[in-house]
Amino acid sequence: MTSAKKAFDRLPNTVVPSNYQIRLHPNLTAFTFDGTEEISVEVKNATDTIIVNSADIAVQEVTFSVKGKTDKVTGNVSFDVDNEKASFKFPVPLPIGEGVLSIKFTGELNDKMKGFYRSSYTSPDGQETHAAVTQFEVAAVTMFCATDARRAFPCWDEPAIKATFDITLVVPKDKIALSNMPIIHGNPLKDNADLIEVKYATTPIMSTYLLAFIVGDYDFVEGKDKDGVLVRVYTPVGKKEQGQFALEVAVKTLPFYKNYFGIAYPLPKIDLIAIADFSAGAMENWGLVTYRETALLVDPKNTSAHVRQWVALVVGHELAHQWFGNLVTMEWWTHLWLNEGFASWIEYLCVDHCFPEYDIWTQFVNQDMGRALELDALHNSHPIEVPVGHPSEVDEIFDAISYSKGASVIRMLHDYIGDEHFRKGMNHYLTKHAYKNTFTEDLWASLEEASQKPVGEMMTTWTKQMGFPVIKVEEKQEGTIRTVTISQSKFCADGILPKGDKSLWMVPVSICTSNSPAKPVQTVVLKEASSTITLNNIKPEDWIKVNSGSVGVYRVQYSSEALDRLIPAIKDKTLPPRDRLGLESDLFALARAGMISTVDVLKVAQAYINEDNYTVWSDLSTNLSSIAILLQYTDSYPQFQTFIRDLFRPISQKVGWDTKQNESPLIAMLRDLAITKMGRNGDKEILKEATKRFEDHVNGTKVLPADLRKPVYITVLSSANEETFNKMLQVYEEADMQEEKVRISRSLGSVRDEELIKKVLDFSLSEKVRSQDSVFVLASVTGTVRGRQLAWKFVQDKWSELHDRYKGGFLLSRLVKSTTENFVTEEDAKNVEEFFKANPAPAAERTVQQSCENVRLNARCLERDGKALENWLKSKK
Ligand code: BES
Ligand code: ZN
C-alpha cells in the first residue's frame, strides 16, 4: 500500500534548510503560477543529491552554490511521482557546510481545494472571479503524512523540518495579497505596471504546513487586541460587517490565551479570512487563519445563535493552535491527535470565558464526549495514538477519536490535576519547546512536573489503548453507611467483550449524592478491576451519581434500584444538567449494547418531561432518533412518533414561537430543537403555524428570524409537495449568505415524496452547490427509510464521480458514514461491504467497517428489543 510506505518514507537529513526566499507569481486567468526559491541549506554529509518534496510542479532549473560564492553548479532533476519527491543530482558532491539551493519552477492553481488552488466567487458586479489560496495541511487520508506545501514550491515538507520564510508575491495591483507576516513593501513591477511585488517580513522558525498565501478581492474590518496585535477579519467584498463578530471574538481570545499560557502571541498581526471554496472547517496557518464562510461570517439578521456559537468555537480553536501546534509543533503526524484534541478542548475554555451564557461545557458533554463514546465503543475503533506503521492504521488521524476523544481525555486530565497545575504545565511545555517539535510524552512530562501526579501513567491508558470502560456500581446500605463497589471493564457497543480482554484504565471516579448534587463527595482513581468506597451519613433513599459533571470518559451502569432513586432527581432537576445528560446518554448506550432493556430506557426518558435545558434535550433527541431509525422498519413507528410528540410538546409550548426579551441564546437553540422535533414527527399544530410563517416569509410579509428558519424549513419540507419544494429552492437561489444556502440545502432532504427526494440528490451534485457542501445535502435525505435507500443507490451509481471529487478527503468518509450506517439488516451490511470490496476506497476503509458494525448493531437491537418496544408503545394508547 503506497500510503503505508509514505508513513516511513521520511526525507534524508543530509541536507537541511534554514531559510527559504520564495517568490510566487500566480496567474488568476491561466490558473498557473511561476516561482523561484533560494533556500539556505546546510549540507551535513557530503552528497551529490538533494531530495525534497514536490508534487505537480515542473522544475525548470536547479543550481547550488556554496554560501558567499558566486559559482553555481546545475543539478539534474528527477521525480518520484508516487512519493511526491524530487531529487536534484549534481555532477560533484556538495561540500559540507552552508550553501544556497536555487530553484525555478511552475505549477498549477488547481481546483481541488488543496495545495495552491483557485477559489471562485461572484464579485459584487456579478462577474465570476477567482482567488488564489492555499491549504497545506492535508486531510487527505491516502496521502498520510504528506502535506501540500509541496504543491506550491519544492520543499522539505515535514513538520519537524522548520525554517524561516521570506515570501514575495507578484500580484495584480488591485488585489489583496496576504501571507503569514505583515507586508514590508509593495513595489510596482518594472516591466509591468499592472503588477506589484509584495514582500512580507521574515517568518519565525516554522513548519511548511502552516504557510499560507492568498490573492483575491476582499474587504476587512480591523482592531487591535489589548497588547497591540493587529487583528483583521477579511470577508467577501461588500460584507465587511459580517466580520465584526469574529473580530470581537479574536480580540478577546488572543489576550485570553496569552494569559492562560503565559506567553504572548509571537507575531505582529493575525488575519482571519473567509474562503469561498474550502474543504475543512478552518485552518490555523500562522498569522493567516483560513475559514469556510460559514465558520467565520456573522450577520445580525441572518445568523442563528447556533452559528454564532460555532464561529466563536472555531475562532477559539484555530487561535489556540497559534501556540499549540504552531509555536510548538508535533514531531510527526502520529502525534497529531494531540494538536487537534488539545485545540478541541481549549476552544470550549475560551468560549466559556468570552460567552458564559452558552453554558458551553454542558454542550461539550453532548458534542465531543458523546461522539467519542459512541465511536470508541465499536470493535472497529482505534487507539488515539496510532502505532506507526500499521498499514490499516494510516487513515485515522483526523477522525472523532483524535478530535473528540482527544478533547475528552484532556478535559478529564485537566479536572484531575486542576486548572492551576494544568496552566503551569502548559507554560512549561510551550516555553521549553518553543519553535521546536515534540512528542506526546513531552506534554505529559510538563504536566507531571507541574502537578506531581502520575500524568503519563494515567494518560497512556487512555491514549494507547482503544476504547474506554463501563463502571459498574453496586451499593450496600448499612445504617447510615453505604458501601459502593465500582468495577471496570471495557465497554463494547454490542455488549460483547472480546475473549481475553483485560483492558484496564486509570479512571478518576467521582461521586455526588442527593446531599451534594453538584460537588463530588468523593473522588478516587480506579486502577484495578474494582474498588470499594464508603459513604457516610447517607439515607437509604438518597441517590448517588457516579461521574459527577460527566467529566470522566466512561459509561456507568447502576442497579435498577439505584436508577429508580435517581428518577425524582431528574424530574425535579436537582440532578445538575451535565449529570442528567450523562445519565440518559449512558442508558441509551447500555440498551443498545443489550445490557438493559430499551423499554426501560424509554420509561426513564419520560422522566425528562419537565426538562428545560437545551443541551440535555439535544442529547436526548439524538438518542431517541437512533431508536426511531429502528422503529421506522416496524409497524409501531406511528406510535413512536406519538410518544416523541407527547414528550416534546410541553417544552415546545413553553418556548413558543417568538423570542422573548433578553432571552438566552440557549432558548433560541431549544426553540429550534423542539419545533424541529415536533415538525419532523408530524405535529399538526406545528405544521400549521410553520406553513403560515413560511408563506409570510416567502411573500415578504414577515421575514423569519434566523433562529426560526431551520425548524420552519424542515417542518414545511417534511410534508412538502412540488410547489412548496420549488418555493424553497427559490429562497435558496435568492439567498446571498452562504449560511442561509447551507441551512436550506441541508433541510431539503426532509422531503418525503420520492420524486422530490431524487431531486434533492441531483441538486446535491449540481453546480448550485459547492463541492464542500454536497455531502451534507446528500446526507440530508437519509432520515427516512426511502431516502436512505435512494441515497445509497445514488452513491453507488455516482461512485466514480464522488470518489474522484473527494478522493482521500474526510468528506468521502463523511459521505460513506451518513449513507450507510443507518441500515438495519445483515443483508444491508453485506451489501455495503461488497460494494466497497468491488470499489475500494482506502481513505474510507475504516469508516466502512464502522458503518457495517453499526448496521449489525441496529439489526441485533431491533431483533432483541423490537417486539417489546412495539408492545409497550401500543399499550400506551
Ligand atoms: N488543522 C485543522 C484543519 C485540518 C485538519 C486541515 C486536517 C487539514 C487536515 C483545524 O485546526 C481544524 O481542526 N479545523 C476543524 C474545525 C475545528 C473548529 C474543529 C475543521 O476543519 O473541521
Ligand atoms: Zn485543529
Last residue of a domain, one of 321, 349, 381: 321
Distance CA 180, CA 201 (A): 9
Distance CA 839, CA 681 (A): 37
The DSSP annotation for 581-610 comes to HHHHHHHHHHHHTTSS-HHHHHHHHHGGGG
Contacts of 265 (CB under 8 A, 6+ apart): 225, 227, 229, 254, 257, 258, 322, 323
Task: Give the domain CATH number at 337.
Answer: 1.10.390.10
Higher pLDDT, 752 or 146: 752
Q: Looking at the domain assignment, is residue 638 inside a domain?
A: no
* 391 band by pLDDT with thresholds 50, 70 and 90: very low
What's the confidence (pLDDT) of residue 145? 56
- To the nearest whole number, what is the mean pLDDT of the chain? 95
Distance 295 CA to ligand 1 centre (A): 11
Paired with 171 in beta bridges are 196
Out of 84, 108, 318, 475, the active site residue is 318
What's the confidence (pLDDT) of residue 877? 67
Number of domains in the chain: 4
Kindly compute the dihedral angle of the four CA atoms of residues 784, 787, 789, 793, in this order, to the nearest 10 degrees.
Answer: -160
Q: Name the residue range of residue 519's domain.
A: 469-552+554-570
Distance 499 CA to ligand 2 centre (A): 37
Taking the CA of residue 292 as reference, the ligand 1 atom at the shortest distance is: 21
Nearest to 41 by CA among 105, 96, 90: 96
Residues 450 and 534 in one domain: no
Q: How many residues does the chain have?
A: 877
Distance CA 682, CA 649 (A): 12
User: Could you tell me if 278 and 297 are in contact, meaning their C-beta atoms sit under 8 angstroms apart?
Assistant: no
What's the confidence (pLDDT) of residue 126? 85
Q: Looking at the domain assignment, is residue 247 inside a domain?
A: yes
Radius of gyration of the chain (CA): 28
Taking the CA of residue 318 as reference, the ligand 1 atom at the shortest distance is: 11
CA distances from 369 to 37, 89, 132, 186, 281 (A): 46, 52, 37, 48, 20
Residues 307 and 340 in one domain: no
Residues 300 and 256 in one domain: yes
The closest ligand to the CA of 348 turns out to be: 1
Distance 403 CA to ligand 2 centre (A): 8
**pLDDT above 80 for 831:** yes
Give, using CA atoms, the residue closest to atom 14 of ligand 1.
282
Distance 524 CA to ligand 2 centre (A): 32
Crossing angle of helices 706-718 and 738-747, rounded to 10°: 30
Q: What are phi and psi of 63, to 5 degrees?
A: -135, 160
Nearest to 647 by CA among 629, 627, 621: 621
Containing H/E element for 724?
A: helix 722-734
Distance CA 447, CA 421 (A): 7
The mean pLDDT value for 170-189 works out to 97
Residues contacting ligand 1 via CB (< 6 Å):
137-139, 280-284, 313-314, 317-318, 321, 340, 343-344, 398
Distance 451 CA to ligand 2 centre (A): 26
- Is 685 marked as binding a ligand? no
20: left (phi over 0), alpha (psi -120 to 50) or beta: beta
Q: Looking at the domain assignment, is residue 262 inside a domain?
A: yes
Q: Which residue in this structure is represented by grid cell 525548470? A: 60
**Tens digits of per-residue pLDDT, 304-327?**
999 999 999 999 999 999 999 999
User: Could you tell me if 351 and 358 are in contact, meaning their C-beta atoms sit under 8 angstroms apart?
Assistant: yes
The closest ligand to the CA of 207 turns out to be: 1
Last residue of a domain, one of 463, 494, 524: 463
User: Could you tell me if 360 and 295 are in contact, meaning their C-beta atoms sit under 8 angstroms apart?
Assistant: no
What's the confidence (pLDDT) of residue 66? 97
The DSSP annotation for 672-685 comes to HHHHHHHHHTT-HH
* Low-confidence winner among 171-175, 342-346, 578-582, 873-877 (lowest mean pLDDT): 873-877
- Is 340 marked as binding a ligand? yes
Residues 55 and 114 in one domain: yes
Residues 305 and 372 in one domain: no
**pLDDT above 80 for 426:** yes
Q: What is the grid cell recorded at 850?
A: 464502522
Residues 244 and 153 in one domain: yes
What's the confidence (pLDDT) of residue 600? 97
**pLDDT above 70 for 393:** no
**pLDDT above 90 for 827:** yes
* Whether 318 is catalytic: yes
Last residue of a domain, one of 506, 541, 570: 570
- Is 306 marked as binding a ligand? no
User: Could you tell me if 428 and 514 are in contact, meaning their C-beta atoms sit under 8 angstroms apart?
Assistant: no
Q: What are phi and psi of 795, to 5 degrees?
A: -60, -40
Sheet containing strand 115-122, strands side by side: 115-122, 128-135, 213-216, 176-179
Taking the CA of residue 137 as reference, the ligand 1 atom at the shortest distance is: 8
* Low-confidence winner among 127-136, 375-384, 561-570, 806-815 (lowest mean pLDDT): 806-815
Residues 49 and 177 in one domain: yes
The mean pLDDT value for 175-183 works out to 98
The pick from 112, 114, 151, 283 for probing ligand 1's pocket by mutation, whose C-beta has the most ligand atoms within 8 angstroms, reads 283
What's the confidence (pLDDT) of residue 383? 92
DSSP 157: -
The pick from 340, 350, 368, 398 for probing ligand 1's pocket by mutation, whose C-beta has the most ligand atoms within 8 angstroms, reads 340
Chain centroid to Cα 205, Å, comes to: 27
